[in-house]
């Protein structure tokens, strides 16, 4: 069988060491059947060339089987709104990676801040529109009458396809789906979201769907996470809920993410939930597990379920021994070496 062709975008800060770790693990799990092409697109690249990626960047990526990304953003060098709208967000949008899957559960040996350890949440975040549409503007800059508008755009196509994806995932798992809204305050977008949810619910009589307001589900994720299974949310709500999900699973160093194009018309992209972590970027202590878990999700997507399972078993064997479970305690290289050794 031919090797899988992966576009590697390490990006900024800890994105570089954690993707290196993830590639090493994925390569070993596949017995070398992985071909990677590295793209240096980052904030430094922006300072050198004036762009986060070349004008034909999207077309270049289109030919790959998948994309593995580290993190983008270094606010001291380039404003975040410039770097993220110049690289990460256009990839998600152009490749219609509309389903962002973010699993939250405790790995063996990881305690997390909650007393409750038994939970397994799959957050499904709408990844291409909503609050991230980029539509808006500012007028009367610098005057007392200044106004800034950020328009959240929700299309029937976009809302229906992410909710359908949520129903399908719920059907495959527990049959329970939590739909996140704020329809008490947002009387257009979220009322629409609730209506489409009810329409689809009629097609999925085997799925029990419960709407939760986003504020209420935040509290529930901390107080009673075991009552949740598949959680579907809009772009911004999903972004916020998945850092909370990361926190209850022990920290951002454990939270993985898959940006999926379900129709496979374009490559999907795999990346940890976390960012470039400028505060620890030079210390060699970034936890690579989130990136390695993301690479396992990539292997699964590429049809390599057996290799993906071996990676997750290796990660679990390592954390069960207390390696990589306490932030800052073990070095990136040591955690990676332990996972590689556990693959044998």
Q: Which residues bind ligand IPM (CB under 6 A)?
A: 73, 84, 239, 273, 275
Count the residues of the shown chain that bind ligand NAD, applying the rule CB under 6 A.
24
How many angstroms separate the CA atoms of 75 and 159, rounded? 32
Query: Which one of 327, 331, 333, 337 is in contact with ligand NAD (CB under 6 A)?
Result: 327
Residue 277 interaction partner, one of Mn ion, ligand NAD, ligand IPM, none, beta carbon < 5-8 Å per kind: ligand NAD
**Which residue from 304, 303, 242 is spatially nearest to 274, judged by alpha carbons?**
242
Query: Is residue 280 close enough to count as binding ligand NAD by CB under 6 A?
Result: yes
Q: By CB under 6 A, which span of 34-42, 48-56, 262-270, 278-286 interacts with ligand NAD?
A: 278-286
Q: Quick check: helix, strand or coil at residue 281?
A: coil
Query: Which one of 127, 169, 181, 276 is in contact with ligand NAD (CB under 6 A)?
Result: 276
Residue among 126 and 239 whose Cβ is closer to Mn ion: 239
Strand partners, 135: 151
**Backbone phi, psi, residue 274, to 5°:** -75, 170
Query: Is residue 277 close enough to count as binding ligand NAD by CB under 6 A?
Result: yes
Strand partners, 35: 5
Q: By CB under 6 A, which span of 96-104, 122-130, 171-179, 282-290 interacts with ligand NAD?
A: 282-290
Which residues, including other chains, have CB under 8 Å from residue 152's CB and lie 6 or more apart? 130, 131, 133, 186, 189, 234, 236
Give, as ranges, the residues between 216 and 255 that touch Mn ion (CB under 5 A). Answer: 239
Q: Quick check: helix, strand or coil at residue 138?
A: strand
Query: Is residue 166 close enough to count as binding ligand NAD by CB under 6 A?
Result: no
Q: Which of 44, 77, 194, 243 is catalytic?
A: 243
Residue 32: how many other CB atoms lie within 10 Å: 9
Q: Which of 12, 229, 239, 330 is catalytic?
A: 239
Query: Is residue 286 close enough to count as binding ligand NAD by CB under 6 A?
Result: yes
How many angstroms separate the CA atoms of 250 and 241, rounded? 14
Q: Interhelix angle for 305-320 vs 289-301, to 10°?
A: 160
Give, as ranges, the residues between 3 and 22 that touch ligand NAD (CB under 6 A). Answer: 14, 18
How many angstroms separate the CA atoms of 263 and 99, rounded? 11
Q: Which of 132, 204, 212, 330 is catalytic?
A: 132
182 is catalytic: yes
Q: Which of 93, 182, 204, 330 is catalytic?
A: 182
Which residues, including other chains, have CB under 8 Å from residue 172's CB and lie 6 or more apart? none
- Cα 282 from chain centre: 23
Give how far Cα 337 sits from Cα of 20, 123, 324, Å.
12, 30, 11
212 is catalytic: no
Give, as ranges, the residues between 215 and 254 that touch ligand NAD (CB under 6 A). Answer: 252-253
Contact letters (x/-) for ligand NAD, 51-90, by CB under 6 A?
--------------------xxxxx----x---x---x--
Give contact residues for ligand NAD (rule: CB under 6 A).
14, 18, 71-75, 80, 84, 88, 252-253, 271, 274-280, 286-287, 290, 327
Residues tagged active-site:
132, 182, 215, 239, 243
């Amino acid at each position: 069988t031919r090797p899988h062709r992966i576009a590697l975008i390490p990006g900024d800060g800890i994105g570089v060491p954690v993707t290196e770790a993830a590639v090493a693990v994925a390569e070993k799990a596949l017995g070398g059947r992985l071909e990677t092409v590295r793209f240096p697109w980052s904030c430094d690249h922006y300072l050198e060339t004036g762009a986060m990626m070349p004008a034909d960047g999207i077309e270049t990526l289109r030919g790959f089987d998948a994309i593995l990304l580290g993190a983008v953003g270094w606010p001291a060098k380039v404003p975040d709104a410039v770097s993220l709208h110049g690289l990460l967000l256009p990839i998600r949008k152009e490749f219609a990676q509309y389903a962002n899957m973010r699993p939250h559960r405790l790995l063996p040996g990881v305690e997390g801040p909650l007393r409750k350890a038994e939970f397994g949440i799959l957050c499904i975040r709408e990844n291409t529109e909503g609050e991230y549409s980029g539509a808006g503007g500012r007028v009367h800059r610098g005057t007392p009458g200044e106004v800034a508008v950020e328009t959240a755009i929700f299309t029937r196509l976009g809302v229906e396809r992410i909710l359908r994806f949520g129903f399908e995932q719920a059907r495959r798992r527990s049959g329970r789906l939590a739909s996140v809204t704020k329809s008490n305050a947002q009387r257009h977008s979220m009322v629409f979201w609730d209506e489409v949810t009810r329409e689809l619910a009629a097609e999925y009589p085997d799925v029990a769907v419960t709407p939760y307001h986003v504020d209420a589900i935040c509290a529930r994720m901390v107080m009673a996470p075991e009552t949740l299974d598949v959680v579907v949310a809009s772009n911004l709500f999903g972004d916020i809920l998945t850092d909370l999900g990361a926190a209850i699973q022990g920290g951002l160093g454990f939270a993985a993410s898959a940006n999926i194009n379900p129709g496979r018309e374009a490559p999907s992209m795999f990346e940890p939930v976390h960012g470039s972590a400028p505060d620890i970027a030079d210390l060699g202590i970034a936890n690579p597990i989130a990136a390695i878990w993301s690479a396992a999700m990539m292997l699964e997507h590429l049809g390599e379920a057996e290799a993906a399972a071996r990676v997750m078993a290796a990660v679990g064997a390592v954390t069960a021994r207390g390696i990589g479970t306490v932030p800052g305690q073990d070095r990136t290289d040591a955690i990676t070496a332990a996972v590689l050794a556990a693959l044998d």
